[in-house]
Amino acid sequence: MKYIFLILLAYFSGSIASGVWIGKTFKGIDIRTVGSKNSGATNAYRNLGAVYGIMTLVIDALKGYLPLVVAQKMEVSDKFIVVVGLVAILGHTFSCFLNFKGGKGVATSLGVFLFLAPKPVGIAVLGFLIVVFTTRYVSLSSIVASVILPIMVLILPVKEGVDKLTLSILSIFIGAFVIYKHKTNISRLLNGTESKIVFKK
């Protein structure tokens, strides 16, 4: 029963439509109708402002992190805890509260890997920040981080008690999935029409 509970917890946690909820509650804006029409943190930042964009980012990351905290306390196997992380990410991208649509999974993946592999995710975040401050393309930064993370998971140590092989497979899968979700962004990058982020106060 605890495995079923954790799968449901991870999915519904991941499915929480934080960007949509924050936009409607504080700004009266459904971010699915403005900008890129994506429900994630980047579109929230662009259309709701820095405070609400960062709030969305933090909540989206916690959606991936907290189910793993619960799973660890319930002493599940080292392989199953990775599965819990995967389900949380899928919940974010296929939210039952958004007609099984959602964000691109970057922020929730950040929360998952921050718990499972803090050192590799630290290097990936550093790569993200370097690219975003150099180019101001969030999409390109996310793609770069998605490539860096699986490499770092293979090279660097991960959280004690986590099966490294299973986590490596997950990191490759999530990296490829995030890149796939950015396919329209890739087309705009190649065409020179991708929007750059404007850093707000």
Coil, helix or strand for 101?
strand
Give the domain ranges of the chain: 2-191
Phi and psi angles of residue 101, each rounded to the nearest 5 degrees, phi first:
-120, 175
Considering the entire predicted model, what is its pTM?
A: 0.91
Tens digit of each residue's pLDDT (9 = 90 or more) over 66-94: 999 999 999 999 899 999 999 999 999 99
Contact 86, 62 (CB under 8 A): no
pLDDT range class, residue 161, cuts 50, 70, 90: confident
Distance CA 119, CA 113 (A): 9
b (16+ CB within 10 A) / e for 59-70: bbbbbbbbbbeb
pLDDT range class, residue 200, cuts 50, 70, 90: low
Tens digit of each residue's pLDDT (9 = 90 or more) over 28-51: 999 999 988 889 999 999 999 999
